[in-house]
Amino acid sequence: MKPTNFLIVVFLSLLFISCQKENEEDSNSFNLPGNGDPCGSIECLNGGYCDNGTCICPQGFTGVNCGELDLNVSIRINSISVSGYPQTVGGNAWDDPFFGSSSTADPYWRIVRPNGNSSESTTYFPNANGGTLYFGPSSGLPFTIFSSDVDNSHTIQLIDLDDIDASDIASADDVMVSKVFVPEIYIDDPGNEFPSSITLTSGSTTFVLGLSYVW
Ligand SMILES: [Ca+2]
Ligand SMILES: [Ca+2]
């Protein structure tokens, strides 16, 4: 064998041994422990579950481990319950006292959006006597808080209607109670995320809003 040929044979032999070693290492790597379960080391929070290495999150939660609230949600106010509203204004009746028992307020709701647009109740309570007022679907609800507005200020008001019962016909409707609120503050309470109702207070008045969510 010529020296040149000998060197070529040695080179090819070394190359063969090297490739065989690589193949052995490759085949061994398929047997490393843990590779068979892509969810083995993954923890999904808030009721999420792991599917092939990815957390599948329940409604309301997002992020790699479902650890973040999904605030890209619109909120529906389905009911408004109002109690403790003022019976008088500055010591006087809401309507002209000449009308006796009809001089008490005739309340309805209004909600003002962050951009100033507002919606109002389609019904009112004539001559409310101080008892709890319940506004449901027949009053024009639900009112939808847009997902883009969830972290912005809204205003809910109780207003005295002044042109139906002829008790105070000359004046404009009066705001009885007004409460500014940022919806997001009430829906990210740890352990009570996205509650079915929230309570807002202003002075002696309490508003309870019945809610549902649309993601
Ligand atoms: Ca009245
Ligand atoms: Ca009135």
**108 alpha carbon to ligand 1 midpoint, in Å?**
12
**92 alpha carbon to ligand 1 midpoint, in Å?**
13
Tens digit of pLDDT for each residue in 76-113?
Answer: 999 999 999 999 999 999 988 877 788 899 999 999 99
Give yes or no for residue 213 having a pLDDT over 60: yes
Mean model confidence pLDDT for the chain: 86
Which of 124, 119, 86, 130 lies closest to 108 in space, CA to CA?
A: 124
Return d(Cα 137, Cα 50) in angstroms, integer: 40
Return d(Cα 83, Cα 215) in angstroms, integer: 31
Average of per-residue pLDDT across 11-23? 47
Ligand closest to 160 (CA) is: 2
Tokens of 34: 């843990």
Which domains does the chain show, CATH number per domain?
37-70 (2.10.25.10), 73-214 (2.60.40.1110)
Would you tell me how many other CB atoms lie within 10 Å of the CB of residue 43?
A: 11
Tens digit of pLDDT for each residue in 179-207?
Answer: 999 999 999 888 889 999 999 999 999 99
2 burial (CB, 10 Å; 0-12 / 13-18 / 19+) is exposed
Tokens of 146: 């847009």
Tens digit of pLDDT for each residue in 114-127?
Answer: 999 999 999 999 99
pLDDT band for 162, please (50, 70, 90 cuts): confident
pLDDT band for 30, please (50, 70, 90 cuts): very low
Tokens of 14: 């070394």
pLDDT band for 61, please (50, 70, 90 cuts): very high
Give yes or no for residue 66 having a pLDDT over 50: yes
Give yes or no for residue 167 having a pLDDT over 60: no
Average of per-residue pLDDT across 63-67? 96
Average of per-residue pLDDT across 37-61? 94
Please calculate the CA angle 87-178-88 and round it to the nearest 5 degrees: 15
**74 alpha carbon to ligand 1 midpoint, in Å?**
36
Q: According to the model, what pLDDT value does residue 12 have?
A: 47
Q: According to the model, what pLDDT value does residue 78 have?
A: 98
Q: Which residues have CB less than 5 Å away from ligand 2 (the ion)?
A: 95, 106, 160, 162
**168 alpha carbon to ligand 1 midpoint, in Å?**
8
Q: According to the model, what pLDDT value does residue 166 have?
A: 58
